[in-house]
Homo-oligomer: A and B are copies of this chain.
């Protein structure tokens, strides 16, 4: 899904997204030039703004209050960006979305505090909302994301892991925040508890599919489209759904060990990617993603017809099809 497709997909909600974009820019303005520069850089690097759009769409099922919807959307995107900055420290990543990461432009210490700053700004943005349950949900989500980050570190380079470990990781890494985006968007609009439940589950299932596709793309896409070397997950010690599928495959395990030991040559990396692509692992992962997308669509089926529901279906469709 590129920017153009996104804009066409988001057409009906462009005004809302523009408001959120403006407030995001205002949010990262800071009296400290380093923080402002680091976070503005991250903001301008783009991203799909999938959390804000989930908030906006979910809020369509109740009474849409522009200002409060924007607050929730901005807070969730800031939390997402903060966790990206902290993740880059962990992964020792120098590139993200084709641009240098905060930690590469500055250092780990700036990356840590820029992340902290964005978290704090997210809370400040949310503090204007007086719905206590929303604060509880958000705090719980942040806790679960933190635990997930530690689990991900713990699972790094571990070969004694299975599908359940993987699903637990991507739940905390991606699905939870998307699920919370839908829940808080729905809640801030005051729709029915039944609608809130359905939208929350939609966000969760769509998030699981989204991360599986992301993990597939890390293997099947090109360095240029990814903005970082294909196969980065494995190079960083992260086993994903396609590579877990190959843990019994001797040839793959050879590649994997070299990747973990950082002895994999550039040619071997390309051969490895080729090998994974023709192994059936991609189709296996794709099927699982499709099953999650079907569950997501089933969840919102009973919801009121309209532009928001259409857009959710389109997004689910795009998640399944997306090439970068």
CB pair A127 B139 closer than 8 Å: yes
Give Cα A123 to B142, complex, Å.
9
Copy count, this protein chain: 2
List chain A positions with a Cβ less than 8 A from chain B: 30-32, 34-35, 86, 89-90, 108-110, 112-113, 115-117, 119-121, 123-124, 126-128, 130, 132, 135-136, 138-140, 142-143, 145-147, 149-151, 153-154
CB pair A149 B116 closer than 8 Å: yes
Q: Which residues of B contact A126 (CB under 8 A)?
A: 135, 139
Contact among B32, B120, B143, B154 with A139 in the assembled complex (CB-CB below 8 Å): B120
Which residue from chain B places its CB closest to the CB of A90 in the assembled complex? Answer: B109
Minimum distance in angstroms from A231 CB to a CB of chain B:
22
**Could you say which of A113, A116, A138 has the most chain B C-beta atoms within 10 Å of its C-beta?**
A116
Contact among B113, B115, B130, B143 with A117 in the assembled complex (CB-CB below 8 Å): B143
CB pair A136 B110 closer than 8 Å: no
**Could you say which of A108, A112, A150 has the most chain B C-beta atoms within 10 Å of its C-beta?**
A150
12 additional contacts (CB under 8 A) given A90-B112, A116-B119: A89-B108, A110-B150, A117-B146, A120-B142, A120-B145, A120-B146, A121-B143, A123-B138, A124-B136, A127-B132, A127-B136, A128-B132
Give Cα A116 to B172, complex, Å.
15
CB pair A136 B146 closer than 8 Å: no
CB pair B86 A112 closer than 8 Å: yes
CB pair A108 B108 closer than 8 Å: yes
Minimum distance in angstroms from A160 CB to a CB of chain B:
16
Query: With contacts A112-B89, A142-B120 known, is A32 near B127, CB below 8 A?
Result: no
Q: Which residues of B contact A113 (CB under 8 A)?
A: 86, 90, 146, 149-150, 153
CB pair A86 B120 closer than 8 Å: no
Q: Which residues of B contact A116 (CB under 8 A)?
A: 86, 115, 119, 146, 149
**Could you say which of A32, A113, A132, A154 has the most chain B C-beta atoms within 10 Å of its C-beta?**
A113
CB pair B150 A124 closer than 8 Å: no
Q: Which residues of B contact A146 (CB under 8 A)?
A: 35, 113, 116-117, 120
Q: Which residues of B contact A140 (CB under 8 A)?
A: 124
CB pair B127 A135 closer than 8 Å: yes
Minimum distance in angstroms from A41 CB to a CB of chain B:
15
CB pair A35 B130 closer than 8 Å: no
Minimum distance in angstroms from A219 CB to a CB of chain B:
25
Query: With contacts A123-B123, A139-B123 known, is A35 near B112, CB below 8 A?
Result: no
Q: Which residues of B contact A32 (CB under 8 A)?
A: 147, 150-151, 154
CB pair B117 A89 closer than 8 Å: no
Give Cα A77 to B146, complex, Å.
19
